[in-house]
Structure 1
């Protein structure tokens, strides 16, 4: 299991590679400008579990109803960090 952190937007080719490399048991967390991946078809890009940082999503003017994946706060993000054995940033 690994935690994959995505912090850049959809124009960043390395981020797309990281998303596609996620396995089913991995967690992919979209933070900062990475939240814009929410508007791509994530189920086609990855089999990993996907999460958006709620505070970053709301800070960019989006509402909870516009989230296409799980919203988590920074405290829940810390829990994921502690749970996962590997980190890809």
Structure 2
């Protein structure tokens, strides 16, 4: 199990590689410009559990209804950081 942090948008090839390499038990958190991955078909890209940081998503003008995956706040993000034994940033 690992926590994978994605902070760059869909034009960043390394981010796509990180997303595709995630395993079923991994958690992928999209922050900053990484939230734009919400509009890609994540279920085709990864088996990992996906999360959007709500504040970053809303700050870019989207609403909660626009989210195609789980929205989490920063406290939940910290919980994931503490829970996962490995981190890929």
- Range into which the TM-score falls when normalised by the shorter chain: over 0.9
What TM-score, normalized by structure 2, do the two folds share? Answer: 1.00
The residue correspondences of 1:1-89 to structure 2 (distance < 5 A) are: 1-89=1-89
What TM-score, normalized by structure 1, do the two folds share? Answer: 1.00
Count, aligned residues: 89
Q: Please, which runs of 5 or more residues in structure 1 have no aligned partner? A: none
1:51 aligned counterpart, secondary structure: strand
Offset, 1:73: 0.3
Pairwise CA RMSD: 0.2
After TM superposition, the runs of 4+ consecutive aligned structure 1 residues lying more than 6 A away are: none
